[in-house]
Amino acid sequence: MKIRELEHPICPLGECPVWDEANNCFYWSDILLGRIYRYSLLSETVDLIYETERQIGGVLLSDNGQLILFTDKDIRKLTLGTKSIEIVYQMNFETGERFNDAIADSAGRFWAGTMDATLSKGKLYRFEAGKDPVVILENLGITNGMGFSVDDRTFYHTDSIPRIITKYEYNIETGEIANGSLFFKMNEEDGSPDGMEVDSEDNIWTACWGGSQIMKLSSSGKILERIPIPAKQPSSLAFGNNNVLVTTAAKEADNLITGYNNDGEFVGGKSYIISK
């Protein structure tokens, strides 16, 4: 595999990458600065395409090409061509609470987690058209990466504070989860599991925050591969056109402009393309 650094400003909290097959590009957010970036595989350039005063903790792509943005205040639709915004749902968050990661299932439901300032009262919400959101899990540390097995029978959910990924039986017809069990607990030296993707062979790929790596796991929880990332804080990843885009964060660096610690270690803030 080859890894290449993309040219863009340092992101204090790069996250939430998604693939747009129709336009052959990736999008991702800088949560803390409220920015959306786009990387085109055709031009190999990065563009800043949207900026708001809100923190963008989740990004999804709709069937009609709109970006669904999960912020610290609301859920909104961004029409890419006109840059127009439509508020879909207004959230009544507690002070310090915001969305942190989101995913859609094959039936069109949205799943989005939140975190709060105490890192102990996070929630996982399920959103369905025409219905009020439902809290599925609560009292979470940092609700993070999620994924579904290829057959839609398993739902994976990450809580970064205890460094665990939990798997649940999933009913795609009803959107219900059941019988949660520990799928994987990450060793402290490997970092904390963060953003996640599930590939076509049911392998789980998780970004290891603090561990300078992406970890590939089998559906039974066995470590299959470790992919080194030249930044201490990989935050998430997305597949697209035989590539993997990896986001990282400068959030805990001594210098948020450069992403480096005082000892010369690169904490993060850049994004990378991994290709075969």
Mean pLDDT of the region 154-168? 98
**Averaged pLDDT score across all residues of the chain:** 96
Mean pLDDT of the region 202-210? 98
Residues tagged active-site:
194
Mean pLDDT of the region 103-119? 96
Residue 147: which CATH number? 2.120.10.30
Q: Is the pLDDT of residue 216 over 80?
A: yes
Question: What residues contact 39, with CB distance under 8 A and at least 6 apart?
Answer: 6, 25, 26, 27, 28, 45, 46, 245, 271, 273
Dump pLDDT digits (tens) for 6-48. 999 999 999 999 999 999 999 999 999 999 999 999 999 999 9
- Nearest-angstrom CA–CA distance, 276 and 258: 29
Domain range for residue 225?
2-275
Dump pLDDT digits (tens) for 240-256. 999 999 999 999 999 99
Q: Is the pLDDT of residue 96 over 90?
A: no
Q: Is the pLDDT of residue 276 over 80?
A: no
When divided into structural domains, the chain yields a total of 1
- Nearest-angstrom CA–CA distance, 239 and 82: 26
Predicted local confidence at residue 13, as pLDDT? 98
